[in-house]
Amino acid sequence: MSSARLQIEPISAFEDNYIWLLTTDQGRSAAVVDPGDEDPVIDRLRERDFRLEAVLITHHHGDHTGGVEGLAAAYPGLRVYGPKDRRIPEITHPVGERDRLMLLEGAVSLQVLAVPGHTTSHIAYQGEGCLFCGDTLFAAGCGRVFDGSFEDLAASLRRIAALPGETLVYCAHEYTLANLGFARWVEPERAAIAERTEEVRRLRAAGRPSVPARLDSERETNPFLRTSVPAVVAAAQTYAGCPLVDETAVFTALRQWKDHAYD
């Protein structure tokens, strides 16, 4: 018998959130990542005749956790994985760096990565050629710094950027077109950004999500993963009005630029 293959599909929530549904081609078990709302998840599970086995949480924000209580009530015995953070009381299985999860009746293995910065306890789940990264990395962008730090977020993004280029990045929001707009501010002459912008416009016009994104595409078009590129450094220094001594300083200037002048 062939091994089960992971299947991933988006469940839309709110205005621009994606809840990721994980299943296999050989079973009826399912897991979801960052369910901010239980209703669309329950509807999809019933429609597809899946039973929810586990929830994976990346961080404590309500648009990622708001549906957990309702899902736990609908599916008794539900395992809820997430960071060791008292702000997420629904978690039944706290996890952290290097922990490994076996999901979907043991068919899928994901490793936990600590990726703080957007929040202090943010984590991601990596495996099966995929990265579920919440709000740390977006397609063509990254999350804001809330209770984390610029230094931590810069380090987390460098860590993600070092993963294999074929990694599929499953972030939690449909922000790609807006993020590419800022990328054009930073590198206005870069053809790869213009080409990706047109590709994403076509996808969105057809009602299709722009994520997942390949990590090698992110490295070519996402300014927050390009903090060592001379053109990006020069743009960040122009905004900051001073020399920037390292990649963390470049990242900080870029993030502040986007926060204050673009978003």
Residues catalogued as catalytic: 59, 61, 63-64, 118, 135, 173
Concatenated DSSP letters of the chain: -PPP-EEEEEEEETTTEEEEEEEESS-SEEEEE--S-HHHHHHHHHHHT-EEEEEE--S--HHHHTTHHHHHHHSTT-EEEE-S-TT-TT-SEE--TT-EEEETTTTEEEEEEE--SSSTT-EEEEETTEEEEETSEETTEEPPPSSS-HHHHHHHHHHHHTS-TT-EEEESB--HHHHHHHHHHHSTT-HHHHHHHHHHHHHHHTT----SEEHHHHHHH-GGG-TTSHHHHHHHHHHHTS---SHHHHHHHHHHHIIIII-
